[in-house]
Amino acid sequence: MLYPKTILLLVCFFVCILPTWGQSISRRNAIVDVVEKTGESIVNISTEQLIRNAQQPLQNDEFFDEFFGLFQPRVYKTQSLGSGVLIDPEGFIITNEHVVKRARKITVVLQDKTRYSAEILAIDKKNDLALLKINSSNLFPYVKWGISSDIMIGENSIALGNPFGLQNTVTTGVISGTNRSLAVGGKVYFRDFIQTDAAINPGNSGGALLNIHGQLIGINTAIYSKGQGLGFAIPVDRVRTIIGRLLNYRKIKKYWLGLELQEIVKKNVSWQVRIQSVAPNSSASEQNLKRGDYIIGINGIPVNCLFDFRKTVFLKDFGNSISLKVLSGENVRSVTLTVNSLPLSEMEKKIWQRLGVLIEGTRRGMKIIAVRKDSPAARIHVKEGDIILSVGRYAVKQAIELNKVLRFYPNKEIIPVVIVRNGTHLEGKLILE
């Protein structure tokens, strides 16, 4: 039998203890850990886009109407369009192609509000993917690769985005389907989407879909407009293969090692890079590399996929050396290759001789990837990374266009040139050689 005083003491005990009882239970869970670990790797992407062009004033010159058109004034508008995912400490970013479509200037905002300019290295419109690079020598936090081929229906999924450059947005759910098809206008574009019920809002497009270990398993890309709670992501296995193909240093920077490589995926888990062919009289042939050899390391870093190899070469300069660890049969050996310039065509040689630049065509114009010392371009302080918009009176976007323009100007001719550097238009006059 309990006496009144005993009952009163018990009541007082529970009144005092119960409010603090739940405080000893931690609110931290696996999702909190994932967000804290990966949040800094999700960025906001804002762009300056071309939204209007002046009318073409030159209508009577058939030759230049066909090939060039006149360089025209542009109107820009800044828009915050979506999210991106840092996949490497050197500042490589994956996002959707539609996020950076028609972009003329790109700004990346990190979680701590730090802003950087970035450039588009390559895009794949069909797969709605773009590969960007932050213009900085800093090292950045990044998300580690997962594997989309072993995703389980019903497992937890976490969608991270940074739509406004203010703070990460987090939604959670489960994987509700794999190998989903997405039709646009009645046409099926993709057949292997990951479907999740984690909400993916428009500003989160280009963000990360993560598993409970914080590994990247997909790039968020679409919302199904006819149903609620249906989000889609490009599976990371496809993403990883595509960016390895997109980061083509031979095409982007005119680098040449004499190697053609092939990415091998075994049992959807093991990724390897195999030599498919070796060009004669190249740095690779001098080191007796052969078809069928596997590249397992570069500069002391394991090579697990084509992107690992190509990004290391991409970050080098002409004439630099790279050290490879190669598996040939059962033997592992080390070789050193030199990053050479791609053998030039006659047209590229002419441009190199007269202007002193190596160029690569982009959507904005001719991107300069190398400048010859004491050349006409060097004398007016043109730099690598600048975009040539016009030479003389005419816009140029391809080497063939630039070459045709140069044919009309004799040596020692002084001609105007317009370039873009970090989003700023600059004008100068150079003397052709």
How much of the chain exceeds pLDDT 90, in percent?
Answer: 32
Q: In the predicted model, is pLDDT for residue 269 greater than 80?
A: no
Q: What pLDDT is recorded for position 53?
A: 47
Query: What is the pLDDT at residue 294?
Result: 95
The pLDDT assigned to 56 comes to 40
CA 37, 204, 217, 43 torsion-angle sign: negative
Confidence of residue 183 (pLDDT cuts 50, 70, 90): low
Judge contact between 131 and 122, C-beta under 8 A. Answer: yes
Examine the pLDDT at 424 and tell me if it is beyond 80. yes
**pLDDT-wise least confident of 8-22, 81-95, 116-130:** 8-22
pLDDT digits (tens, 9 = 90+) for 354-381: 888 888 776 667 788 788 888 888 888 8
User: Is the pLDDT reported for residue 54 higher than 70?
Assistant: no
Q: Which residue has the higher pLDDT, 70 or 39?
A: 39
Predicted confidence (pLDDT) at residue 185 exceeds the cutoff of 60:
no
Question: What is the structure's pLDDT at 250?
Answer: 83
Task: Please state, in angstroms and rounded to a whole number, the distance separating the CA atoms of residues 169 and 152.
Answer: 24
What's the token pair of residue 48?
A: 């300056």
Q: What is the pLDDT of residues 32-49, one digit of tens each?
A: 998 989 999 999 998 876
The tokens describing 248, both together, are: 């083509």
Q: What are phi and psi of 120, to 5 degrees?
A: -85, 120
**Taking 60 as the threshold, does the pLDDT of residue 67 lie above it?**
no
Residue 327 has pLDDT above 80, yes or no: yes
pLDDT band at 315 (very low <50, low <70, confident <90, very high): very high
* Annotated active-site residue in 205, 282, 283, 390: 205
Domains, the chain, in order of start with CATH, read 36-134 (2.40.10.10), 156-240 (2.40.10.10), 249-341 (2.30.42.10), 346-431 (2.30.42.10)
Is residue 166 over pLDDT 60? yes
Percent of the chain with pLDDT strictly greater than 70: 81
Q: Tell me which of 8 and 301 has the higher pLDDT.
A: 301
Task: Name the more confident of 185 and 328.
Answer: 328
CA distance 375 to 420: 19
Q: What is the predicted pLDDT for the residue at 165?
A: 66
Q: Give the model's pLDDT for residue 231.
A: 84
**Catalytic residue check, 283:** no
**Which of residues 163 and 116 earns the better pLDDT score?**
116
What is the 8-class DSSP label of residue 70? B
From the list 83, 88, 128, 283, the catalytic residue is: 128
pLDDT surpasses 60 at 21: no
- The answer to whether residue 41 is catalytic is no
Q: Where is pLDDT greater, at 351 or 104? A: 351
**pLDDT given for residue 268 in this prediction:** 62
386 is known as an active-site residue: no
Give me the pLDDT at residue 85, please: 96
Q: Regarding predicted confidence, which is higher, 192 or 333?
A: 333
Lowest mean pLDDT among 187-196, 303-312, 409-418: 187-196
Residues in Cβ contact with 61 at an 8 Å cutoff, skipping those fewer than 6 apart: none
pTM of structure: 0.74
Q: Which one is catalytic: 41, 83, 98, 283?
A: 98
Most confident of 56-65, 95-104, 226-235, 291-300: 291-300
Give residue 374's pLDDT: 82
| pLDDT in the model for residue 13 | 56
Strands (E), 17-73: 42-53
pLDDT surpassing 50 at residue 62: no
C-beta of residue 345 within 8 angstroms of C-beta of residue 353: no
Helix 346-354, helix 399-406: angle, nearest 10:
60
At 313 the pLDDT is 94
Decide: 271 and 305 in contact? Cβ < 8 Å.
yes
Is the predicted pLDDT of residue 237 greater than 60, yes or no? yes
DSSP string, 287-314: TT--TT-EEEEETTEE--SHHHHHHHHH
Average pLDDT, the chain: 82
pLDDT tens digits for range 243-255? 999 998 888 887 8
pLDDT above 60 for 224: no
